């Protein structure tokens, strides 16, 4: 396993339409995890939540979160970022469409991307990383090539 990599060492992983998983703290101390579509912009994850999504209220209460993106094939590249969410409604529709576009084009190309974005302004979340871990198994002799 190669540890201590940078996002640049992960090749195209951050550009691929793979879901990431976010984990948020619930008020009872348990963890709430959900898959999300993301975009990598300026060295950080950006995600969108449609108007009314309960994750918005959760992040307003406690902005701490973890996001994990991993592929399920060799070399099993992955990135984990722990940090805080910055929430904004500025430019929601335009940015939400940018986030959703690669996923819709890959998995539902007959549907307009706009159909995946709420009519009412939702929230754009930019994750300010405090801890970032990147790794892969490219040099692991136990892994098939």
pLDDT 10s digits, 9-18: 999 999 999 9
Query: Would you call the peptide bond into 125 cis, given omega within 30 degrees of 0 as the criterion?
Result: no
Q: If you average pLDDT over residues 111-129, what whole number do you get? A: 94
Task: Give the pairing type, strands 31-36 and 20-25.
Answer: antiparallel
Q: Please, where are the H alpha helices in 64-127?
A: 92-107
User: Is 0.75 surpassed by the pTM of this model?
Assistant: yes
Residue 133's contacts (CB-CB under 8 Å, 6 or more residues apart) are: 3, 79, 80, 81
Domains in the chain: boundaries = 7-135
Measured between alpha carbons, how far is 129 from 137 in angstroms, rounded to an integer?
A: 23
Residue 95 has pLDDT above 80, yes or no: yes
**Count of C-beta atoms within a 10 Å radius of residue 98:** 16
Q: Which CATH number fits domain 7-135: 2.30.110.10, 3.40.50.170, 3.40.50.2300, 3.60.70.12?
A: 2.30.110.10
What is the pLDDT at residue 141?
Answer: 67
Residue 144 has pLDDT above 70, yes or no: no
- pLDDT above 90 coverage of the chain, percent: 94
């Amino acid at each position: 396993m190669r540890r201590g990599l940078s996002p640049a060492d992960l090749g195209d992983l951050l550009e691929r339409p793979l879901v990431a998983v976010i984990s948020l703290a619930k008020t009872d101390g348990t963890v709430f995890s959900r898959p999300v579509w993301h975009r990598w912009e300026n060295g950080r994850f950006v995600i969108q939540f449609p108007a009314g999504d309960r994750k918005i209220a959760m992040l307003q209460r406690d902005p701490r979160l973890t996001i994990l993106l991993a592929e399920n094939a060799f070399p099993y590249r992955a990135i984990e970022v722990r940090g805080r969410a910055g929430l904004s409604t500025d430019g929601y529709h335009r940015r939400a469409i940018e986030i959703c576009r690669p996923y819709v084009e890959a998995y539902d190309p007959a549907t307009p991307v706009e159909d995946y974005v709420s009519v009412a302004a939702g929230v754009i979340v930019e994750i300010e990383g405090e801890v970032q871990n990147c790794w892969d198994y490219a040099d692991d002799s136990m892994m098939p090539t």
